[in-house]
Structure 1
Amino acid sequence: MAKLKNTKLNKFLEKAENIVDVLIFPATILLGFLIIGHLFFHFADYEPYATIADYFIISLFVVDLVFKWRHTHNLKKFFKYYWLDIIAVFPFYLITRTYLGFLQLIGGAELQEVLHTIAGLRQSQILKEVKVIRTLRGIKLGQRIIRFIALRFRTTHNKMLHRYAARQRKQLRKK
């Protein structure tokens, strides 16, 4: 009975892995549109949708990494072969945003605000926040570009593997 459940689970995981492999290429195209839209068009009006699409692509990457780990089971090989995928999944901008929020919390944000208001430095604080937001946007864009490159490599790699496997099957049939 346990063997039957394992085979059902393995079949399900294989189907899920195939679905993820199929979704990688459209995700690459979507990520390309996100990058182009962020660089050349005003994307602030569509920001919730861009973020949702970005999270979808990240979750697709994470699921793909889980499948790759399932096949590798060796930490050294996993990091050696899939380091770019791991970097693409790692959300640097969230860590930076959390770090800056933590610094404001520890620095006594209320006291700091009172002192800035008294000294008339409120405008300089707003300018600093705008610079931080611009930096975070740049980090987020860089993260999307890394994801795009990783997706492109993965798509090419998968095509090469499928072609190689097809040639191997063809040679085995001839024998």
Structure 2
Amino acid sequence: MSEEESHQKSLAMVVMSGDMDKLFGAFIIATGAAAMGMEVTMFFTFWGLRALKKNVSTGKTFFGRMLGLMYGGDITKSNPSKFGFGGMGRWMFGKMMGNHNVSKLIDLRDLAIDLGVNMYGCQMSMDVMEIPQESFIGGVKEPVGVGFFLLKAQEADISLFI
């Protein structure tokens, strides 16, 4: 077996957006890559951190609590980037996707964990947004800095920013 044949392909992805449609894209790509046997690293930063959160309040300072209230909730509270319709867009797109047998976002995230996708929160974003590690779901790795992600991206066969 040649070195190229024995090399496990890998995907490194930054997930900065917390928009429903972008999270769908991120998790569909991640689960597809993992199902193909690729090593997958997802680095969640800023608004993308919502995908890792439980439905709990966060923030210690006034600004942190305000941010937690205004952008609180878990992955099920993510709205589409377009056609939000005051919250109706999430319901409408969920209904349309269900009619076409597309998994729910929360199920795709759980599948990613089951497939061994490595999910990391950005330590700096967590500090700024006052989101503690304890507010994350099970299966999320210890928080890391951008340097860790850049090493993974440098070694990866595919790198994406969503």
Q: Same fold per TM (> 0.5)? A: no
| TM class by smaller structure | under 0.3
* Greater helix proportion: 1
TM-score scaled to structure 1, two decimals? 0.24
Relative to its length, the structure with more strand (as a share) is 2
Greater C-alpha radius of gyration: 1
TM-score normalized with structure 2 length: 0.25
